[in-house]
Amino acid sequence: MLAHLPTTETAANRIVRPGRLARALDLYEYQGKALFARYGIPVSEGRLARSPREARAAAEELGGPVVVKAQVLTGGRGKAGGIKLAQSAEEAEARAAEILGMDIRGHVVRKVWIEGASDIEREYYLSIAFDRSAKQPLFIFTTQGGVDIEEVAASMPDALVRLHVDPLEGYHPWHGRRLVYGAGVKEPSEQKQIAAIAEKLYAAFTGCEAMLTEINPLIVTTSGEVRALDSKFTVDDNALFRHPDLAELRDLDAADPLEALAREKGVTYVKLDGEIGVLGNGAGLTMATVDVVTFAGGRPADFCDLGGGGDAQGVVDALEVITRDPQVRSIFFNIFGGITRCDEVARGILQALERMRIALPIVVRLDGTNAEEGRRLLEEASASNLYAEATMLEGARRSVELASVT
C-alpha cells in the first residue's frame, strides 16, 4: 500500500497547519527535467513549444526523430494520447497541432515539450517521496516501470524496493546498492548508473525541499544508457521563500484564476464552492468560521485568512478577491482582536468600502481588543449593507440569512 504517498492536492484536502496553509507546488515535466539536469541526472535534450510552428522549429533544431509531449499537471498523458512520436519536423508540427488544445482530464494543453526520441530497452521506476508517518524521505525503486506505480504496488508488491533515508545521516552509497540489488538489476553498468542517479535524485529532493521527485519511466536505452524519460516534481510551498527561482516556476494560468489573483496580491485564499464569502484573522479562526457557517446551514465560498493585519489595503485586497467570485451572496468577516485591534480592522473595512463599491451584505463580528470601539465605528458609518454582530454564531446565521434574501 502506498497510502502515505502524497497525491495530487485539491482545494478540499489541503492541510491547514496552525497559522499557515500547506500547499504543494507541482512542476511540469519540462521544469522537473531542468532541475534533474541541474543535479546531473541524465535527461534527453529538448525544447518547449507553444504552437505547432514552434514545435516544428524545435524538432528541426534537435534533428532526427522526436517525441511530442503534452505539458499538463496530471499523469497518464501517454494513455490519453498526449505523447506522440514524430519521425520528422513536419510530423512534429502535425502531432503538436493535435496535442495542443487537447483536454487531458480537465487540463488544457497549452505547451508541448519536444525532445529527441529515445530507443527504449527497459522501463524502470525510481522515486523519493516524503513519508510523513516515518518523518523521512522514502525511496521506491522497481524494474516494473512505465506503468502506474499504484498498479505495481497492488499486483506485485514484492517488486517494489522501499528504503528510507535518515535525513540526519543523508545519502550513503549503500542506499544505491540496496536499491539496485533489491530490485534484481543484474547488469553492472546499469547498477552503477542507477545508484548514481539515486544519489543525485536525493540531492535534488533535499536541495529543492521537494515533497516528491519521481522518474517514471527511468529508461535503459538500447545502447545501455540509463536516463530519466519523465519527471514528476513537487516542491513544498512552505519552503518556497528559500527558493525564489522555484517559486517563479509556478504557472499562474493553470491555477484557479481566483487563487492566482489572490497569490498575486499576497492574500491567503482557497476557493470553496458555496455562497458565503468567509474572512477571518488567523488560519484557526478562519477554519472555525468555515465550520460555523456550515453549521448555520450555509456553504462557505472560500477560506480567506487576513493574517495578523487588518489594515485597509489588506482588507481591500481580500475583498477584491472574494467579490470576484460570482457565487458569493454575502460576506462574513470574523475578527477576533488580540494583537490586532478591532477598531483598526473596523477602520480598514470602512476605508476599503470607500475605495470599492460592494453591494453585497457584509456581516462583521468583532470580538476581543477594542471590540466595542470597532462596532461603534461600523454603526456610525451607517452603511446600509453593513451588519455588526457580537458572536460568531450570530454572525454566521445573519450572513446565511442575508445570502438567501439577496
Among all residues, which ones are annotated catalytic? 125, 214
Q: In 3D, which of 271, 400, 268 has the Cα closest to residue 332?
A: 400
Residue 64 sits in the site that holds ligand GDP (CB under 6 A): no
146 contact, one of Mn ion, ligand GDP, none, CB 5-8 Å limit per kind: ligand GDP
By beta-carbon proximity to ligand GDP, the closer residue of 142 and 399 is: 142
By beta-carbon proximity to ligand GDP, the closer residue of 79 and 135 is: 79
CB of 164 to Mn ion, least distance (A): 24
Residue 170 sits in the site that holds ligand GDP (CB under 6 A): no
Q: Which of residues 81-110 bind ligand GDP (CB under 6 A)?
A: 83
Q: b/e per residue, 176-213, with b = 16+ CB within 10 A?
A: bebbbeebebeeeebbebbbbbbbbbbbbbbebbbbbb
By beta-carbon proximity to Mn ion, the closer residue of 228 and 349 is: 228
Burial of 256 (C-beta count, 10 Å sphere; 0-12/13-18/19+): middle
| Cell numbers given for 349 | 473595512
Contact at 8 Å (CB) between 179 and 164? no
Residue 216 sits in the site that holds Mn ion (CB under 5 A): yes
Site of grid cell 451588519? 387
By beta-carbon proximity to ligand GDP, the closer residue of 144 and 289 is: 144
Tell me, rounded to whole angstroms, the distance of Cα 270 from its chain centroid.
12
Binding footprint of ligand GDP, residue count (CB under 6 A): 15
| Cell numbers given for 201 | 535524485
| Per-residue interface string for the shown chain with ligand GDP, residues 199-218, x marking contact by CB under 6 A | -----------------xx-
User: No. of H helices and E strands in the chain?
Assistant: 13, 21
- The dihedral of CA 52, 56, 57, 59: what is its sign? positive
CB of 249 to ligand GDP, least distance (A): 18
342 contact, one of Mn ion, ligand GDP, none, CB 5-8 Å limit per kind: none
**Residue spans of alpha helices (H) in 296-370:** 312-324, 342-355
Residue 229 sits in the site that holds ligand GDP (CB under 6 A): yes
CB of 2 to ligand GDP, least distance (A): 16
Residue 117 sits in the site that holds ligand GDP (CB under 6 A): yes
By beta-carbon proximity to ligand GDP, the closer residue of 143 and 399 is: 143
Which residues, including other chains, have CB under 8 Å from residue 385's CB and lie 6 or more apart?
358, 359, 360, 361, 362
Q: Which of 120, 160, 255, 393 binds ligand GDP (CB under 6 A)?
A: 120
By beta-carbon proximity to Mn ion, the closer residue of 218 and 296 is: 218
In angstroms, the Cα distances linking 39 to 204, 208, 244 are 6, 10, 18
Q: What angle do CA 100, 102, 108 make, to 5 degrees?
A: 90
340 contact, one of ligand GDP, Mn ion, none, CB 5-8 Å limit per kind: none
CB of 229 to ligand GDP, least distance (A): 5
Contact at 8 Å (CB) between 288 and 262? no
Q: For residues 14 and 11, give the distance between their C-alpha atoms in angstroms, rounded to a whole number.
A: 6
Residue 118 sits in the site that holds ligand GDP (CB under 6 A): yes
123 contact, one of ligand GDP, Mn ion, none, CB 5-8 Å limit per kind: ligand GDP
| Cell numbers given for 143 | 524494474
By beta-carbon proximity to ligand GDP, the closer residue of 69 and 398 is: 69
Residue 399 sits in the site that holds Mn ion (CB under 5 A): no
Q: Which of residues 313-332 bind Mn ion (CB under 5 A)?
A: none
Which residues, including other chains, have CB under 8 Å from residue 220's CB and lie 6 or more apart?
120, 121, 122, 124, 190, 226
| Cell numbers given for 294 | 456550515
Positions that interact with ligand GDP (CB under 6 A) = 67, 75-78, 83, 117-118, 120, 123, 146, 216-217, 229-230
Positions that interact with Mn ion (CB under 5 A) = 216, 230
